[in-house]
Amino acid sequence: MSNGYLNRLVYTYSSQSYWSLSPIRFDSNESAARVWRVIGAGYLNDDYVTNSAGVRPVINLNGNVEISSGIGTSSDPYVIK
């Protein structure tokens, strides 16, 4: 969110929360790991991995790949050369 404007096109935005792959720590009192979770509008929150959240796939591309069209949304996905 910038200046009160919520950018729903940014890749972290989702109406559902999902896990990142970035661990925070292991909580020995709870016997569970804590991991960063992306919630709602793309904000980060730490949470126990024993709680439920979705996952999102990631694709890594070579640095010399060019995007020929699209803005990266589900209705206008990137087209890669």
Q: What per-residue confidence (pLDDT) applies to 69?
A: 93
Q: Among 24, 25, 11, which Cα is nearest to 56's?
A: 11
Is 5 among the domain residues? no
Q: How many domains are there within the chain? A: 1
The SS3 call for residue 19 is strand
Is 58 among the domain residues? yes
Answer whether residue 14 shows pLDDT above 80: no
Is 1 among the domain residues? no
Q: Is the dihedral of CA 70, 75, 77, 79 positive or negative?
A: negative
Is 45 among the domain residues? yes
pLDDT in tens, 17-58: 888 878 889 988 888 899 888 887 667 788 888 888 888 777
Is 53 among the domain residues? yes
Is 47 among the domain residues? yes
